[in-house]
Amino acid sequence: MKIKKVMLVLASVAVPFSMASAESLNSVVAGAVLSSPQVQSVMNARNAVFEEVKQARGGYRPKVDIGAGVGYEKTKRFPGDDVELKRSEANVSLNQMIFDGFRTSSEVNRQSARLDSVNHRLREIAEETALEAARSYLEVLKRQSLVEQAKNTLLTHIRIFDQIKRRSDSGIGTLASIQQAEGRLALAEVNVLSAENNLLDAHSAYQRVTGKAPGAELEDPEIQESWIPATFEQALERAYDKHPTLKLAAADVNAAVSQYEAARSLMFPTLNLEVNRTWNDNIDGVEGRNEDLTAMIRMRYNIYNGGANKARVRQTRHQIDEAKNIQSDAARQTLQSLDLSWNAYDILGRQLDYLEQHVTSTERTRDSYLKQFNIGQRSLLDLLDTENEVFSAQNAFNEAIYDQMLAQYRLLSGTGELLDVLELDLSTLQGTSFVQNVAKTSPTLMERVKSLNPF
């Protein structure tokens, strides 16, 4: 057994990284969220919808078109000779919507609701990414602690083996004792390798979520008790108030309702102000200039469209019901997720005290067995067994500590408050400003009619 080699390896990996600055959970999560391709994708989708809101609001503004043309015209006269002229045209037209059956206002409301929806979707994706980053961060910390524990246990087995070997060399120990100690020492080395492999896996998951390898040193996060809901009912109340998935579903219902209102606009007449100015030359077989100026209030009313308009209204009504069903399902899923998070938080919190007691008891037993072994009242097998029990108890306790931290972050994510707790502001992502309710700033029909009244 190459004890000196093992000791050298342990000493080399135990060198502290004091020169490197420790990373905090908040900074790691912020970097993961802001650099996440999924978050960036939703952000671009959000900016696209923002432009669609602007497009919808364009329906309130006048439309101005210009046209020009030049070419050949041949006019047949009966009786008389044909007339051939070089024809030229120029025109400018203005069309201002006065009333369109509330189609424009409904479309503005729909796009505004879609903007609200994608804003909440952005928050939802950011919350999910933040939770995954926190999970990978805590997993690295947990695996680091388990590696350290495995190495400490290996050192203990090395000391025991060294003690047994000295006893054997002095004629007190037996060959069987040395073989037992060698076997447990080999198992302890395997446990170190297994723990290090799990740590490498945790590093890989960390890099996938954050886009970079973990720093040499990670700070243990501190979670204030005031952040955590005192009861499940309080957690549920917070979730209904803040959870982005619920807000997203509600915004989708609003968008469906506005789409239904836009479809109903097809049943109304439209009223437009149309102003046209033309400058023509040599048209309709008449040589010379021809200029027109018209200003018309024009009404159009479609009285039959093959039943397509009514079918469109029915379609959008079904889409409202579909959106409400999705909203109900989202509420159920949110409730289930919150319930699972609360149960994990509650049970793990209660387990910690018992696991700590287990560690204390096994350590005391181990210490007692060691004293008894030294005076010949305990066998080597008893001592090795209790050392393994201490190792298992400490591992279970360390795992529970970090699992409990993760359960707290899961609970905060379940209430939709994780980004707030981690002090992450999504406004740094936004290339354009949020629009909470564009419809409120849009002119109403009566306001537009009053603006046209010359008296």
pLDDT tens figures, 212-246? 999 888 999 988 888 999 999 999 999 999 999 99
Per-residue pLDDT at 429: 65
pLDDT bucket at 383, cuts 50 / 70 / 90:
confident
* 278 phi and psi angles, rounded to 5 deg: -125, 150
Partnered with residue 170 across adjacent β-strands are: none
Q: Write out pLDDT tens, residues 332-369.
A: 999 999 999 999 999 999 999 999 999 999 999 999 98
CA atoms within 13 A on the CB side of 106: 17
Going by the DSSP 8-state scheme, the letter that residue 426 receives in this structure is G
Per-domain residue ranges of the chain? 3-61+102-267+306-452
* Model confidence at 434: pLDDT above 80: no
Give Cα separations from 4 to 11, 276, 316, 387 (angstroms).
Answer: 10, 98, 78, 22
Distance CA(169)–CA(160), nearest Å, equals 14
Distance CA(384)–CA(364), nearest Å, equals 14
Percentage of the chain modeled with pLDDT above 70: 88
Average confidence score pLDDT of the chain: 87
Per-residue pLDDT at 76: 81
Distance CA(124)–CA(146), nearest Å, equals 33
pTM for the structure as a whole: 0.81
Q: Write out pLDDT tens, residues 27-48.
A: 999 999 999 999 999 999 999 9
What are the DSSP calls for 48-82, one per residue? Answer: HHHHHHHHHHGGGS-EEEEEEEEEEEEE--SSS--
Per-residue pLDDT at 304: 93
* Model confidence at 16: pLDDT above 50: no
pLDDT bucket at 444, cuts 50 / 70 / 90:
very low
CATH code for the domain defined by 3-61+102-267+306-452: 1.20.1600.10
Q: Write out pLDDT tens, residues 332-341.
A: 999 999 999 9
Asked whether 127 and 245 are in contact (CB, 8 A), the reply is no
Radius of gyration of the chain measured on its C-alpha atoms: 38
| CA 298 to the chain's CA centroid | 49
Distance CA(261)–CA(304), nearest Å, equals 19
Per-residue pLDDT at 122: 95
Q: Write out pLDDT tens, residues 411-428.
A: 999 999 999 999 888 876
Going by the DSSP 8-state scheme, the letter that residue 213 receives in this structure is P
